[in-house]
Amino acid sequence: MRQSILTRKRNLGQGMTEYIIITALIAIAAIGVYSMFGETVRNQVAGMAQEMRGEDAQDEIDAAGDAADDATDTADTTVDLGDYNDTGSSAAD
């Protein structure tokens, strides 16, 4: 009886650990995607809000396109560990 209770608690702990690891990986992936496409998404949402108010949103649409182009250029850049400090300072600009 006591053996089965300990085994069940151990299995529940293992399941919780796996859940935490999966949640952390999803959060890291979401942060990466948002850092790459965040500006594009914000501009698209701003454009939709302008259009829903009945106003012209061409400026926001253009800004979203520019942000998407910038994200594409960043993604096309080949980076290795030797470029780590250079990449970090250029991304902050």
Domain ranges of the chain: 2-75
> Cβ contacts of residue 43 below 8 Å, gap of 6+?
60, 61, 63, 64, 67
Q: What is the pLDDT of residues 20-70, one digit of tens each?
A: 999 999 999 988 888 777 888 888 888 888 888 888 888 888 888 888 888
pLDDT the model gives residue 93: 47
pTM over 0.75: no
